[in-house]
């Protein structure tokens, strides 16, 4: 029988309309003494206004260096059931689609070996199984892997790639985000499970510039779908939007960042050569506007949270690349990037930080990409720049 | 070079660095391939064997390293 | 215990096995979609087929009981198909229109919040907090619960000039895209780490600990086989603590949260933007952090009142100017708002044309 704790502070968070995480922990605590002690320790955190967890260490499943994150209570005597409370990351399926049966299967395993608490999903996109002990790791892995599930990434490794809903349920997808995510994950299993990078590496795949997966802000390699061609305009549907109350001039034309559109009350015109494909007009008038022509993606690199040099957004490396199975051109490019990082990267240095430290030129030359204006917002402002011997021969 | 010999070299390298410097998988691959004049892939393959056998393990301390498992 | 044979390097299950038939059939061939209410949209294929998505909030932290309940609901109305969104919402995928009403009735009866679609507040992206993280300076789930209770109407029905994306990070490590959200809470420390020299000697690598510091505040202390920290340079980020746990950074007295605003990730109308500091510090006041709610309220209300339709928070602020933002929100401007991190000068104003 799980130990019961008085939780007056947390009980406050069971009130109100939004679903309560406290209720979730209590549901799990009705069955699991680990979840019970999690609740007890959390109440203490609320009282003392500080966390009581320690990280790191040497937990994992045999052969893998990733997928399990060691977590220990710093108050093991007070909360013995969470003395070991490790996280298991399960690689989620592309775009987080599930069947009822697959979810039930997961729940059955997790109830048997862990706290019954999960995150659907963690920030990177894994299914997070929150809280188990070291001796349960091998059984959990055997149960999951024998049913077709594998562990996700952690540590200095490729992290679980993730993507937006893409062509599964969105008319704006320029690339097959689900297939590319699945394909990359399968191709780079070794890089995911046996950490050999200087630090973490994340792929996030977005079908268009709306970027519902926040690829540009949180992926070492951001893959964002785009097109090369005109926007086809269905004038009858434009008229329908106008009729239903949309102010085409102020809501669409005036908000276009490139001023490439005009509207005379009857016809919406687009000067396609000036369009930057930002998606505003298409997102607001999805029935009227459709990209046409060649579909592909822009490859950007380097985004990450603030540690160590300050937060970065990904910047353009390859303005346009076709992305169709088996994605060989892209995979070759990725391998070159990793080679550069392996050669020069320091421990805990993200690839974007390395590119900034060594310079874009060195990186671009290494991976074999030419300099183009699409890679910068503007040329440099300073008069300090390197010349190499080969530049003099040009 | 025989795989067993590569494994021996890897193990010795890790053993030698105990208490001095934690080694990353890529440190091992670079050092052993250069010393023994073999490819990175050969080292990687031998390292994988050592880890599958449990002679070496991955650890995490703000980054992933390869170490000798603690004696219980 | 009899265990099945483990397999390695098989990767995740194939996504096609989890797609409802209507999606398999219309994969990559969708024509358009329409938002029907705060939590319901319909996608129409070129074939004429339709799929309705009913979105509900989740606290992200889910018990197996709740997941089973969701699975049962999907079984009953959706042929057993559902998905999760990037922002931890759940979407029930309906291919038979007559199930749409009964599904929503059951969800409401079971107290699920239906919403999060269109120009509204969607679920808050957040981190582990005190529930499971070693470096948390606040609890993420509690803040999210308190904020979403307050903004529940903006999730379910009420609309805003555009969508508003909120995020909570429990330390400056910022798991998740907190640095590019319309409004985000990030927990901070404000005191220099206390060094346990004996433990540093045994547990930490001096070079990687030094390298972890963004401001160059850490140097070797060879006598103690440890490190020392220059108090004048330390900005309390806590990165050293992650690399070397004996550099204790937690201080309940001084830890708390900052609020940042004006970020976005989409490229619509304007380039993706970072969130910028608007409130440098609010003390942790669990379980409901009322001072944080009040400050976020001020920003959201000013935005709702002033912004032009389709403007995101950051676009609105750029149009009116930051000086006016502080005026209309009534939030005080302090020394902490002026950047003095390593890339500071980018944000200094270099024109005499500004508002009072």
Same CATH fold assignment for domains A8-146 and A162-227+295-393: no
Are A119 and C125 a contacting pair at CB < 8 A? no
Report the DSSP pairing between strands C81-84 and C61-63. Answer: unpaired
Closest CA to A82 of A127, A27, A25: A25
* Residues of A in Cβ contact (< 8 Å) with B51: 63, 65, 194
Tell me the pLDDT of chain C averaged across its residues. Answer: 95
Q: How many CB atoms lie within 10 A of CB C111?
A: 10
Whether omega for the bond prior to residue A121 falls within 30 degrees of 0, making it cis, is yes
In sequence order, what are the residues at sequence separation of 6 or more whose Cβ sits closer than 8 angstroms to the Cβ of residue B51?
A: A63, A65, A194, B57, B58, B66
Q: Which H/E stretch holds residue B43?
A: helix B40-52
The fold of A230-291 is Alpha-Beta Plaits (3.30.70)
Q: What pLDDT, on the 0 to 100 scale, is given for residue A308? A: 84
Q: Across chain A, what does the average pLDDT equal?
A: 96
pTM of the model: 0.96
332-351 in chain A: CB under 8 A from chain B = 342, 347-348
Asked whether residue C208 carries a pLDDT value surpassing 90, the answer given is: no
- Alpha carbon B68 to its chain centroid, in Å, reads 9
For A360, the token pair is 């874009």
Nearest CA in chain B to A342: B26
* CATH assignment, A8-146: 3.30.70.2500
Phi first, then psi: give them for residue C51, nearest 5 degrees.
Answer: -130, 130
| Domain parsing of chain B, residue ranges | 3-67
Q: Which helix (H) or strand (E) holds C239?
A: helix C239-243
In this structure, CATH architecture of domain B3-67: Orthogonal Bundle (1.10)
The two tokens of residue C51 are: 């799929």
| C-alpha–C-alpha distance, residues A101 and B48, integer Å | 35
Question: Residues C244-261: what's their mean pLDDT?
Answer: 95
The pLDDT, as a whole number, for residue A394 is: 81
HSE, side-chain direction, 13 A CA sphere, residue A339: 13
3-state secondary structure of C293: helix
**Which distant-in-sequence residues (6+ apart) come within 8 Å of C284 by Cβ?**
A49, C137, C138, C187, C252, C255, C256, C257
CA C323 to chain centre: 26
Q: What is the pLDDT of residues A39-54, one digit of tens each?
A: 999 999 999 999 999 9
Distance from CA of B61 to the nearest CA of C (A): 6
3-state class (DSSP) for residue C313: helix
- pLDDT tens, position by position, B14-70: 999 998 889 999 999 999 999 999 999 999 999 999 999 999 999 998 889 999 998
Do the Cβ atoms of C166 and C313 come closer than 8 Å? no
Q: Are A35 and A44 in contact (CB under 8 A)?
A: no
Assess contact for C246 and C204: CB atoms under 8 A.
Answer: yes
Sign of CA dihedral A249, A294, A208, A288: positive
**Axis crossing angle, helix C313-320 with helix C322-329, rounded to the nearest 10:** 110
Per CATH, the number for A162-227+295-393 is: 3.30.413.10
CA distance C127 to C168: 7
- pLDDT tens digits for A184-199? 999 999 999 999 999 9
- The partner residue sitting opposite A123, judged by closest CB among C4, C176, C239, is C176
> Would you call C177 and A255 a contact, using CB atoms and an 8 Å cutoff?
no
* Interchain pair C243, B21: CB under 8 A: no
Tell me the domain boundaries of chain A.
8-146, 162-227+295-393, 230-291
Selection from A161, A179, A71 nearest residue A121 by Cα: A161
pLDDT at B36: 94
Q: Which residues of C touch B62 (CB under 8 A)?
A: 208, 212, 242-244
Per-residue pLDDT tens over the stretch A272-330: 999 999 999 999 999 999 999 999 999 999 999 888 888 999 999 999 999 999 999 99
For tokens 């992305």, what's the residue? A323
Averaged pLDDT, C259-265: 97
Average pLDDT over residues A212-229: 96
Distance CA A291, CA A287 (A): 12
Q: How confident is the model at residue C176 (pLDDT cuts 50, 70, 90)?
A: low
């Amino acid at each position: 029988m799980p130990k019961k704790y008085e939780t007056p502070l947390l009980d406050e968070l069971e009130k109100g309309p939004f679903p309560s995480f406290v209720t979730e922990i209590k549901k799990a605590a009705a069955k699991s003494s680990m979840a019970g002690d999690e609740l007890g320790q959390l109440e203490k955190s609320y009282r003392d206004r500080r966390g009581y967890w320690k990280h790191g260490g040497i937990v994992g499943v045999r052969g893998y260096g990733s997928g399990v994150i060691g977590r220990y209570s710093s108050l093991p005597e007070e909360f013995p059931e969470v003395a070991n409370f490790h996280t298991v990351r399960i690689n989620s399926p592309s775009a987080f689609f599930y069947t009822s049966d697959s979810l039930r299967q997961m729940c059955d395993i997790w109830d048997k070996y862990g706290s019954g608490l999960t995150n659907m999903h963690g920030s990177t996109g894994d299914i997070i199984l929150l809280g188990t002990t070291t001796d349960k790791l091998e059984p959990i892995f055997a149960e999951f892997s024998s049913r077709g599930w594998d562990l996700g990434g952690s540590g200095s490794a490729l992290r679980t790639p993730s993507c937006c809903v893409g062509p599964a349920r969105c008319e704006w997808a320029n690339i097959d985000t689900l297939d590319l995510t699945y394909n990359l994950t399968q191709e780079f299993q070794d890089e995911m499970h046996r950490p050999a990078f200087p630090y973490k590496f994340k792929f996030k795949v977005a079908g268009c510039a709306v970027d519902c997966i926040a690829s540009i802000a949180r992926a070492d390699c951001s893959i964002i779908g785009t097109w090369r061609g005109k926007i086809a305009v269905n004038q009858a549907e434009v008229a329908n939007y106008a009729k239903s109350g949309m102010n085409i001039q102020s809501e669409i034309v005036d908000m276009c960042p490139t001023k490439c559109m005009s509207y005379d009350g009857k016809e919406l015109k687009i000067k396609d050569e000036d369009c930057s494909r930002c998606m505003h007009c298409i997102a607001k008038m999805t029935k009227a506007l459709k990209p046409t022509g060649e579909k592909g993606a822009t490859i950007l690199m380097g985004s990450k949270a603030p540690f160590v040099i300050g937060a970065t957004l990904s910047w353009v490396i390859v303005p346009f690349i076709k992305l169709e199975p088996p994605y060989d051109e892209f995979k070759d490019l990725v391998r070159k990037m990793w080679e550069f990082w392996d050669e020069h990267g320091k421990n805990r240095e993200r690839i974007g930080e390395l590119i900034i430290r060594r310079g874009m030129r060195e990186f671009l030359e290494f991976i074999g990409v030419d300099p183009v204006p699409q890679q910068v917002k503007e040329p440099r402002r300073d008069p300090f720049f390197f010349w190499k011997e080969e530049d003099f021969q040009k | 070079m025989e795989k067993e010999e590569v494994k021996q070299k890897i193990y010795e390298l890790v053993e030698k660095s105990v208490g001095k410097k934690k080694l990353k998988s890529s440190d091992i691959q670079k050092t052993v391939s250069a010393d023994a004049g073999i490819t990175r892939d050969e080292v990687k393959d031998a390292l994988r064997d050592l880890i599958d056998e449990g002679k070496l393990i991955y650890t995490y301390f703000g980054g992933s390293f390869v170490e000798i498992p603690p004696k219980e | 215990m009899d265990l099945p044979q483990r397999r390695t390097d098989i990767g995740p299950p194939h996504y096609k096995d989890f797609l409802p038939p209507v999606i398999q059939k219309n994969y990559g061939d969708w024509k358009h979609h329409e938002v029907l209410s705060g939590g319901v949209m319909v996608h129409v294929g070129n074939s004429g087929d339709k799929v309705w998505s009913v979105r509900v909030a989740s606290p992200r932290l889910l018990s197996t009981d709740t997941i089973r309940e969701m699975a049962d609901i999907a079984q009953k109305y959706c042929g057993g198909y559902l998905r999760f969104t990037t922002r931890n919402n759940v979407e029930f995928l309906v291919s038979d229109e007559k199930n749409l009403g009964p599904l929503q009735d059951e969800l409401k009866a079971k107290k699920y919040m239906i919403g999060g679609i269109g120009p509204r507040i969607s679920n808050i992206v957040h981190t582990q907090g005190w529930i499971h993280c070693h470096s948390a300076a606040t609890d993420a789930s509690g803040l999210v619960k308190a904020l979403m209770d307050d903004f529940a109407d903006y999730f379910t029905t009420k609309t805003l000039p555009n969508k508003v994306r909120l995020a909570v990070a429990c330390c400056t490590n910022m798991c998740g895209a907190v640095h590019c959200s319309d409004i985000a809470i990030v927990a901070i420390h404000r005191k220099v780490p206390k060094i346990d020299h004996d433990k540093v000697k045994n547990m930490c690598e001096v070079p990687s600990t030094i390298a972890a510091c963004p401001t160059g505040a850490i140097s070797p202390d060879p006598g103690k086989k440890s490190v020392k920290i220059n108090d004048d340079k330390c900005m309390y980020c806590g990165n050293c603590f992650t690399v070397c746990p004996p550099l204790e950074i937690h201080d309940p007295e001084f830890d708390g949260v900052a609020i940042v605003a004006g970020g976005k990730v989409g490229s619509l109308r304007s380039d993706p933007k970072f969130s910028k500091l608007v409130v440098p510090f609010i003390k942790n006041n669990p379980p409901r952090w009322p001072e944080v709610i009040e400050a976020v309220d001020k920003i959201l209300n000013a935005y709702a009142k002033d912004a032009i339709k389709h403007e995101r928070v950051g676009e609105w602020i750029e149009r009116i100017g930051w000086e006016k933002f502080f005026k209309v929100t009534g939030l005080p401007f302090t020394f902490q708002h002026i950047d003095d991190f390593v890339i500071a000068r980018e944000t200094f104003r270099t024109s005499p044309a500004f508002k009072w």
